Structure 1
Amino acid sequence: MDELLGGHLRMLREAAATGRLPGRAELDDCRAAGALAAERGASVRALVEAALAMAESAGPTPLPALRRTVSALMEGYENAQRSALRQEEAARRAFVDDLLQGRADRLAERAEHFGLRLAETYVVAVARPAGAAGVAGSAGVAGAGAATVTAGTAQGDDGLAGEAEGTARRIEDALVARFGSHNVLVAVRDGMLVCVAPGSLTVANGEFTHHVRQAFAPGWRVGLGRAHRGPGGVVTSYREGANAIELGDRLGLRAPVLKAADLLVFPVLLRDRAAIEDLVTSVLSPLLEARGGPEPLLATLEAVFASQGNQTAAARRLGVSTRAVTYRLERIRRLTGFSPDDPTQRFTLETAVLGARLLDWPAHPLR
């Protein structure tokens, strides 16, 4: 510390001898000394105590001179700390982008800096605020089964991005306080919060969801990927979580938390798009002839399937009478030739309805 504050001591001695206050160049030297102290890991308390000790040895130093030099030392120290935090945040964003895109640029080495051991199994949770657009896009879910997640950070208003970063930091601080810094990583990507946690630490996902519920307005949604090992596993889990959210939107699912493990049948269906289009067209296209359009009939089928065939419960879901549900089901049977009361036909109908929602039919007509 004496080496850093040599110039400080000379200024104090000169001020004690002449009464002259330190000039701009001398104060800049103090700021540089404070910055160097921060870079070397010295505490601000140690810096100030060393400066005051030197003032005692310099003789009767004028208080304004002491105040200016100590203030310049602390200003340099704080500026260096802010710069280090900005650099750390930039490195963190670059690491998260590389990790979630699978770019293997010294990932394991960089992961250790942020407390992650990529040889382990990890689960990625993705949280989307209410009203935000999905990240995977229609091609991600309705394509050939391989989801594509948009690269880059959140797009949009700078203030909104800053708010998301602040929310991510608060949630990460809470998770780190409970689980330790080597167990969780929370970041903002594509306008959503992303939480990476070990697969063995299942309670972390629940804790993350708890904080999301408190931070976001109603309408938020969380998608949970499955546990996968290694850097590639993190990418896969992230894509599964993001696509779970999009599937929930397309299927009109009400649950705010969606697990990719519970939705595995849908990517299977979509791997053969031609087959699912043929099923939807063959089974449901007669509903286009219904008075009022096919949507009320499709909604009735969804409510009946969600109620395990209980027409009274389905009527409550729809806000109509049980008689109306019975009438609609009979109308569906007459138009399509399929009845939800028959086990085999029920499966065909339910699969066709799910396919229609995934393909956004009939809003987007099929070829």
Structure 2
Amino acid sequence: MQPREIPELYTEGFRETLTEVAKSGRRLRREEIEARRRLGEQAAEAGYGLRSLVNGLLAAARSNWPAPPGASAPEVLAAVEQAVDASAEGYERAQRLAVRHEEAARREFIDDLLHGRGNQGRMAERAERFGLRLAHAHVVAVARGAEAYDDGHPVTRGVQDAVFARFGDRRTLLTTKDEVLICVAPSGQEEIARFFAKQAYVRGKECRAAVGRPHTGPGGVVRSYEEALEVLRVGERMELADPVLHAEDLLVFPVLTRDRQAMYDLMDTVLGPLEEARGGAGPLLATLREYFEAGCVSAEAARRLNLSVRALTYRLERIRTLTGLDLADSLDRYSLHTAVIGARLFGWPRGVRTEQQAG
């Protein structure tokens, strides 16, 4: 494909300069080099390609060739080389500035989008520029690993390449924020978000991903994003085994964490008496945790804790004595289980790791 022909404006004065150089054999002056840089910048800003600019300069040189009798061809060629180099430098400088402006605008948009800032009508207009239609519903997936992710990280680039290779752009936004990988995809195409999450897990070191639920409108992106982040936090605190978590599967946790004061009251009331045990609450809390995770099957819980069933039964009896709650009673069991989940979510009691096991 032939490059677009560039107007003479961007090669202005070059023929005259070469005529002088051919007669005197001099190099280009500083002001002439700077003029070529400025014209290179203007050509870039006007949307002309670098090839067009270089071809224009070479055409101007060719129209002034052969040089006058007695002129030195090497000096003329050196002047052409200086002019091409200066023009290309100005062109590239304008391109870098344009890229920085574009990146700044994109980052500002992403920050406003994920925080729900700014006029919604204006936000929708800006979103169109980046391939999103905010009037529609969107789903957001996030991924966090052992390393801090930014737009230039190899994992970020690898995930982006994999997603776009499989789905194209499909009005999908892939970005990073606060060291987290983020994917905003249209509702109805949740497979993009799920594929993104799996790719992040596979490519990232110690990476865990979460997918929010679809929500509509500019505020819908924020809601789905915050849901995904909360699910990510819950997965880390609860040490859930699945590396890719879905908000729709963990709706119980927002219910449990919505009223923190009520949850702390429950933990203090239900689990507080365990602190009177020898060795503190940690060992008995770990016993309850494994007991519930084993489906309340004593033999499996004992195996997980490396205890005999008899030793486990003794611990459960000790819990009943201290708390006054009986695991055989459905309501008591529910109260204990909810309090244990709260202890893992909020780190109760402070300074005690619930996975600690008794010796």
TM-score, reference length from structure 1 = 0.82
Match for 1:194: what amino acid? I
Shift of 1:49: 2.1
**Aligned-partner Cα distance in 2 for 1:318–1:88:** 56
Q: Are 1:202 and 2:213 counterparts?
A: no
Q: Are 1:104 and 2:104 counterparts?
A: no
Q: Are 1:113 and 2:129 counterparts?
A: yes
Shift of 1:215: 4.6
**Aligned-partner Cα distance in 1 for 2:202–2:344:** 30
> 2:163 matched to which residue of 1?
175
Match for 1:192: what amino acid? V
> 1:80 matched to which residue of 2?
94
**Aligned-partner Cα distance in 1 for 2:96–2:284:** 60
4+ runs deviating over 6 angstroms: none
> 1:22 matched to which residue of 2?
28
Match of 1:90 among 82, 104, 108: 104
- Judged with a 3 Å threshold, the aligned counterparts in structure 2 of structure 1 residues 318 and 81 are, in CA distance, closer, same or farther, namely farther
- Judged with a 3 Å threshold, the aligned counterparts in structure 2 of structure 1 residues 129 and 334 are, in CA distance, closer, same or farther, namely same
SS in 2 for 1:197: strand
**Aligned-partner Cα distance in 1 for 2:180–2:29:** 50
Q: C-alpha deviations, 1:345-367, integer Å up to 9, x for none?
A: 322221121122333221179xx
**Aligned-partner Cα distance in 2 for 1:10–1:315:** 93
**Aligned-partner Cα distance in 2 for 1:318–1:205:** 37
Shift of 1:75: 1.1
> 2:37 matched to which residue of 1?
31
- Judged with a 3 Å threshold, the aligned counterparts in structure 2 of structure 1 residues 49 and 222 are, in CA distance, closer, same or farther, namely same
Higher radius of gyration, 1 or 2: 2
Match for 2:25: what amino acid? G
**Aligned-partner Cα distance in 2 for 1:83–1:320:** 66
Q: CA RMSD in A?
A: 2.5
Q: Are 1:43 and 2:49 counterparts?
A: yes
**Aligned-partner Cα distance in 1 for 2:299–2:97:** 63
- Judged with a 3 Å threshold, the aligned counterparts in structure 2 of structure 1 residues 75 and 319 are, in CA distance, closer, same or farther, namely farther
**Aligned-partner Cα distance in 2 for 1:57–1:317:** 87
**Aligned-partner Cα distance in 2 for 1:126–1:34:** 42
Shift of 1:35: 1.5
Match for 2:53: what amino acid? L
SS in 2 for 1:45: helix
Count of residues in correspondence between the two structures: 334
Are 2:198 and 2:244, in contact at CA under 8 Å, matched by a contact in 1?
Answer: no
Match for 1:202: what amino acid? E
Q: C-alpha deviations, 1:323-344, integer Å up to 9, x for none?
A: 5434322332333233444443
176-185 vs 53-62, which moves further: 176-185
**Aligned-partner Cα distance in 2 for 1:75–1:22:** 15
Identity %: 49
Are 1:116 and 1:182, in contact at CA under 8 Å, matched by a contact in 2?
Answer: no
Match for 2:150: what amino acid? A
Shift of 1:81: 1.0
Q: Are 1:65 and 2:79 counterparts?
A: yes
Could you list the runs of 5+ residues in structure 2 that have no partner in the other structure?
1-5, 67-72, 353-359
**Aligned-partner Cα distance in 1 for 2:310–2:146:** 35
**Aligned-partner Cα distance in 2 for 1:321–1:53:** 91
Shift of 1:63: 1.8
**Aligned-partner Cα distance in 1 for 2:161–2:267:** 48
**Aligned-partner Cα distance in 2 for 1:312–1:50:** 84
**Aligned-partner Cα distance in 1 for 2:273–2:257:** 22
Q: C-alpha deviations, 1:267-297, integer Å up to 9, x for none?
A: 2233344443333233222211222221122
Q: C-alpha deviations, 1:196-251, integer Å up to 9, x for none?
A: 11122222223322342355322x32232211111101111111111222223333
**Aligned-partner Cα distance in 2 for 1:117–1:305:** 45
- Judged with a 3 Å threshold, the aligned counterparts in structure 2 of structure 1 residues 240 and 83 are, in CA distance, closer, same or farther, namely same
**Aligned-partner Cα distance in 2 for 1:19–1:337:** 103
Are 1:126 and 1:194, in contact at CA under 8 Å, matched by a contact in 2?
Answer: yes
**Aligned-partner Cα distance in 1 for 2:23–2:318:** 103
Match of 1:332 among 284, 303, 319: 319
Are 1:126 and 1:241, in contact at CA under 8 Å, matched by a contact in 2?
Answer: yes
Shift of 1:69: 0.9
> 1:184 matched to which residue of 2?
172
> 2:296 matched to which residue of 1?
309
Are 1:7 and 1:30, in contact at CA under 8 Å, matched by a contact in 2?
Answer: no
- Judged with a 3 Å threshold, the aligned counterparts in structure 2 of structure 1 residues 33 and 322 are, in CA distance, closer, same or farther, namely farther
TM-score, reference length from structure 2 = 0.83
SS in 1 for 2:151: helix
**Aligned-partner Cα distance in 2 for 1:10–1:236:** 64
- Judged with a 3 Å threshold, the aligned counterparts in structure 2 of structure 1 residues 183 and 10 are, in CA distance, closer, same or farther, namely same
Q: Are 1:164 and 2:170 counterparts?
A: no
